[in-house]
Structures are given as structure tokens and as C-alpha cells.
Amino acid sequence: MTQPPDPDARLRLTYEVGCRVREAPELARAVAYEQTVELPPHVVSEDLAREIVGHVDSVEPLEAGGSRLVISYDPRIVGGEIPQLFNLLFGNVSMYEGVRVTDVQWPAAMLEEFAGPSHGIEGLRRLCGVAEPRPLLCAALKPLGLGVDELAGLCFDLARGGVDIIKDDHSLAGQATAPFDARVARCQAAVERANRLQGGSSRYFPNLTGPVSVLERRLRATREAGCVGVLLCPWLAGPDTVRWIAETTGLAILAHPAWCGPLMRPDHGLAPGLLLGRLFRLIGSDGVIYPNAGGRFPISETVCEEINRNLREPWCAIRPAFPVPGGGIDVARVPYWVRRYGADVIFLIGGSLYAQTDLVQACRELAAVLRSTA
């Protein structure tokens, strides 16, 4: 392994750490060794120290206290593999305290090794038959505990109401109350029936997060039913499972952030814009669900806008992905969020729709609001 001469060819990570700038150089060196050779410096040969260990590019104090470190790595350490990329980004330092990865500079050559979303914003719009520049409407199919008939009935109503994407709640797995194959076949059929009745083009995305042993079978059932997309929780299915499904099946993917909360704390972890905006996009999510500001989860509008930017802005050949704010969006506030987030967004509405007496009518009114913004 020889050194790539171009500094842009290195994978450059920015960390914010809790310790003061006096102790920060030592921490930076520890991180650079920890994440690569995982050996004390005096045991590592000069060649490996130069080629494999991270280079500490800068250490500077932060105004709010703590320090900012920039460490760069040879991308060949990653070898084009998602799990090892994730490991390099935060594997062992996850067990440190007060280390937060806030930004990554990606070498163009490295990004070429990953296909990213197989549809992206444009492709998902096409799949959903929404050419006009308006936000899409997504509703979660729930709750867990309903039978297949009831869920299919809800699908029919949501599709009649003009919901663009009806996705399984991520708690719907293979439970006996609504087994996967029957649920997917019946729900998809219900959506197609509603589409035929009114010339709609709603799509049903079943939750594919499940045991490895049934993944291929459920994929087959999903495609045989005629679904064009699925829901996946990258942190429960494994991040590379998302990439594999994106690259090999042609299915569109909505990614759900279950289990991701602790990874995005303000003093330790990864910036939400990096984890949900960049990494989830890189592994192939066409849309990324996140808890919106003002809902049930603590997150600021600034952070949401950073996620949106990282999902949507041009990024070499990696297609842009839809931000999918959810987690307790009030129907009444949707116009506000449209003004804030623009047209390339999918609003995920759940409880606030189900709380209405007439579900079909509630969906229609909301869909009309979104169409009026085009």
C-alpha cells in the first residue's frame, strides 16, 4: 500500500471532543491508532504508521469548550465495504467518552465504490407518479395487532385518500396477527384496487426488517405481490443489508431510524446530518425517516435542515434521497413545514391522521394541501 499523493484522496473526518485543547493532541493520536492498527504507537512500524494509521491534520479549540480534531485516513483501509467503513468511522471510539464525528470529507474515488440510492428523489417520484414539484405524502400502516383484513382495509382507505406511499409501521414484522406474506399480498392488492377505482398511483412499502433466514423469501413475496419499495431499519437489519437490497433488487427503500437515538447524542456519537443524511443515503436509502422538530422526539429545526441538506445536495454520482420527517407531525402544521423544507420531501403522518373520524377525507384534505404547494 503506497501513499496516495493527492490530499483530496483521503477520507477526512472531523471530530468534536469534550477535552480541552491541551489534552486534545494526545486524544487525536489515540483515535488515529485506535481506529486503524489498534496498537500502541511504539509497536507499529514506520511504514504502517504512515500508511495505515490516521493522520492528525489539525487540532483546535472550540469556542463552546472542547476541541475540534481533523484526522484523515487512506480510503483503501475501507476496501469498498460498508461494515468496515462504519467501523473506521466510529467502531472502537464509540466506546470512548465525549467523541463526536461531525463531518466527513469523502474522496470522489471512494464514493464511486458505492452505488447509493437506486432510485433517488427523481426515481421515487416516478415510481409514485408524482411529476409535479410537490411534497409526497406517506402514512404508516398501523397499529400492530390488527389482522390482515383490517390492515388491507386501512390500505384501501389511505390509497383512496391519495396517500402516495403507505408504509408498514416498523413494528409490523412476521407476527401471527398479520403474517408477512398474507399481509403484503392483501395490502398491495387493496392499494391496487383503490388505484384502479380512482386512477391513483399510491404505493405500498412493506417492512422488510426481519430475520436473515426469511429475507429472500420475503423479498420474493414482496416482488410477487407487485410492491415497488420496502421499509428497512438499517440498525436492526444491518446497514449493509440496505445496500445489498438497493443494489440487487430494484426495490425503493425507506430507511427508519429505530435504535439510532443514542448514536446521535450532542456529546458523543455522530452528527444526525452525518448518520441519517450521509450514511443512510450512501447505503442506498431513497428516503430517510427522521423525527421532525416539534414532534414527540427532541430534535431542532436546524438539525432537521442539516439532515435535509445532506440528503438532497449533489454528492458526486450518489443520487439525492428524500428527507422523510415524521414522528408526530401535526396535520395542521404541514403548510408550515412545506414552506420550511420545500417540495423535495415526504411527509410521514401517522397518529394525526388516524385521530380523524373520517380517514379517507382526512387524507384527501392533506393531499390537497400538498398538491396546492406545487
Q: Does 358 bind a second copy (CB under 8 A)?
A: no
- Residue of 142, 167, 170, 268 marked active site: 142
According to CB under 8 A, which residues from 126 to 185 bind a second copy? 140, 142-146, 169-171, 173-177
Which one-letter amino acid corresponds to residue 62? L
Q: Which of 262, 313, 314, 339 binds a second copy (CB under 8 A)?
A: 262
* # residues contacting a second copy (CB under 8 A): 87
Letters for 189-228 (x = contact with a second copy by CB under 8 A, - = none) are --------------------xxxxx---------------
- Considering the complex, state which of residue 199 and residue 298 has its C-beta at the smaller distance from a second copy: 298
Q: Which of 25, 65, 83, 129 binds a second copy (CB under 8 A)?
A: 83
- Considering the complex, state which of residue 359 and residue 369 has its C-beta at the smaller distance from a second copy: 359
Q: Does 297 bind a second copy (CB under 8 A)?
A: yes
Report which of 171, 163, 161, 117 is spatially closest to residue 322, judged by C-alpha positions. Answer: 117
Shortest CB 333 distance to a second copy, Å: 16
What's the grid cell of residue 212?
Answer: 436473515
Q: 230 and 222 in contact (C-beta within 8 Å)?
A: yes
φ and ψ of 268, to 5 deg: -165, 135
Shortest CB 148 distance to a second copy, Å: 13
Q: Is 142 a catalytic residue?
A: yes
Q: 32 and 53 in contact (C-beta within 8 Å)?
A: yes
Stretch of 9-17, 27-35, 119-127, 308-316 contacting a second copy, by CB under 8 A = 27-35
What are the CA-CA distances from residue 214 to residues 105, 174, 181 (Å)? 37, 10, 11
Stretch of 6-14, 190-198, 293-301, 360-368 contacting a second copy, by CB under 8 A = 293-301
Q: Does 81 bind a second copy (CB under 8 A)?
A: yes
Rounded CA separation 222/234 (Å): 18
Cis bond upstream, residue 298 (ω within 30) = no
Shortest CB 345 distance to a second copy, Å: 19
What are the b/e assignments for 170-195, b being 16+ CB within 10 Å?
bebbeeeebebbebbbbbbbbbbebb
Shortest CB 17 distance to a second copy, Å: 14
What's the grid cell of residue 206?
Answer: 412493506
Shortest CB 256 distance to a second copy, Å: 9
Q: Is 256 a catalytic residue?
A: yes
Shortest CB 192 distance to a second copy, Å: 26
Q: 300 and 259 in contact (C-beta within 8 Å)?
A: no
- Considering the complex, state which of residue 48 and residue 104 has its C-beta at the smaller distance from a second copy: 48
According to CB under 8 A, which residues from 30 to 49 bind a second copy? 30, 34-40, 42-44, 47-48
User: Strands 203-205 and 67-73, how do they pair?
Assistant: unpaired
- Considering the complex, state which of residue 128 and residue 366 has its C-beta at the smaller distance from a second copy: 366
Report which of 322, 318, 320 is spatially closest to residue 114, judged by C-alpha positions. Answer: 318
User: Cell 399510491 maps to which residue?
Assistant: 202
Shortest CB 274 distance to a second copy, Å: 14
Rounded CA separation 270/303 (Å): 12
Q: Does 65 bind a second copy (CB under 8 A)?
A: no
Q: Does 332 bind a second copy (CB under 8 A)?
A: no
DSSP conformation class of 276 = I
According to CB under 8 A, which residues from 87 to 126 bind a second copy? 87-88, 90-97
- Point out the residues that are catalytic: 142, 256
